[in-house]
Amino acid sequence: MVVENIFVLSSGESVPVVIENRRGARNVTLRPKISPKKEIHISKPWTSSTKFVMGVLESKRKWVEHIFNAAPTKEDIKPGMIIPILGRDVRVIHDDTLRSNKYMDTDKTTLCIGGGADMFERRVRDFIKDELLTEIKSIIKTTPREYWPTHITLRDTSSRWGSCSSTGTISFSWRLAFAPYEIMRYVVMHELSHRKYMDHSPEFWANVSQLYGFGVERAKRWLSKNGQSLHKYF
């Protein structure tokens, strides 16, 4: 069952709230979204009332408004632009005579998108997602098999860069493709560490450092300071 409510920001803007009863859920989980539009998604146990959930949301007002206020102004992707993809500055160009999308050089700094102009942005986005998923799988294979997930998914989340379920499924924000490569790799190692420790205990962080190497705190600071900038496109 999905129930829609409204959360009014301090600015007076009304944001839709989508509440979902999730089987097996023990806690209320808030997920503010800024793409493709502002929404707040909430998962809750069947026993939690809508009134209670909206009260939890109100108690997190400062955090929710910070996410919305920090969101960058969207910038449309157009032929000739240079955008960051997996740590490289890549110029995207368009050739409607091509049916496929491909890099035009060995250092992967020029990406040519085929097809009609009306599908340009969508095909850029889909190409980036495929590239990210391929790279994530490559990184995972450098770790011991005990860390490998049972399944990998890409999502478009506003406040979480990754998550790991008790069943072994790991999800990543596809916007990590716009982050510096080592920042993306840190998130991968972070989530893989949850395959062994489903918490953020000292043992967990020691495991992250073991998989990632030096620079965990630097990567955490980068995401805290610059994470919202990854939502600039699309």
Residue-wise pLDDT for 57-92, tens only, equals 999 999 999 888 887 888 999 999 999 999 999 999
Asked if residue 97 is part of any domain, the answer here is yes
Q: What is the mean pLDDT of the chain?
A: 94
Mean pLDDT of 168-192: 98
pLDDT at 1 over 50: no
Asked if residue 101 is part of any domain, the answer here is yes
Asked if residue 102 is part of any domain, the answer here is yes
Q: Can the peptide bond before residue 36 be classed as cis, meaning omega within 30 degrees of 0?
A: yes
- CB 22 within 8 Å of CB 44: yes
Of 32-36, 138-142, 178-182, 213-217, least confident by mean pLDDT is 32-36
Q: What is the pLDDT of residue 194?
A: 98
Label the pairing between strands 29-33 and 39-44: antiparallel
pLDDT tens for each residue of 181-225: 999 999 999 999 999 999 999 999 999 999 999 999 999 999 999
Is residue 107 exposed (0-12), middle (13-18) or buried (19+ Cβ within 10 Å)? exposed
Q: What is the pLDDT of residue 197?
A: 97
The residue with greater pLDDT, 8 or 23, is 8
Asked if residue 206 is part of any domain, the answer here is yes
Q: What is the pLDDT of residue 174?
A: 98
Domain count, the chain: 2
pLDDT at 3 over 60: no
Gap between the Cα atoms of 51 and 86, Å rounded: 43
Does residue 51 share a domain with residue 99?
A: no
pLDDT at 176 over 70: yes
Mean pLDDT of 158-186: 95
**Final residue of a domain: which of 36, 70, 104?**
70
Q: Which domain holds residue 211?
A: 82-231
**Final residue of a domain: which of 70, 91, 109?**
70
Does residue 226 share a domain with residue 129?
A: yes
Give the CA count within 13 Å in the CB-facing half-sphere of 220. Answer: 10
The residue with greater pLDDT, 4 or 12, is 12
Q: What is the pLDDT of residue 2?
A: 53
pLDDT-derived band of residue 157, with 50, 70 and 90 as boundaries? confident
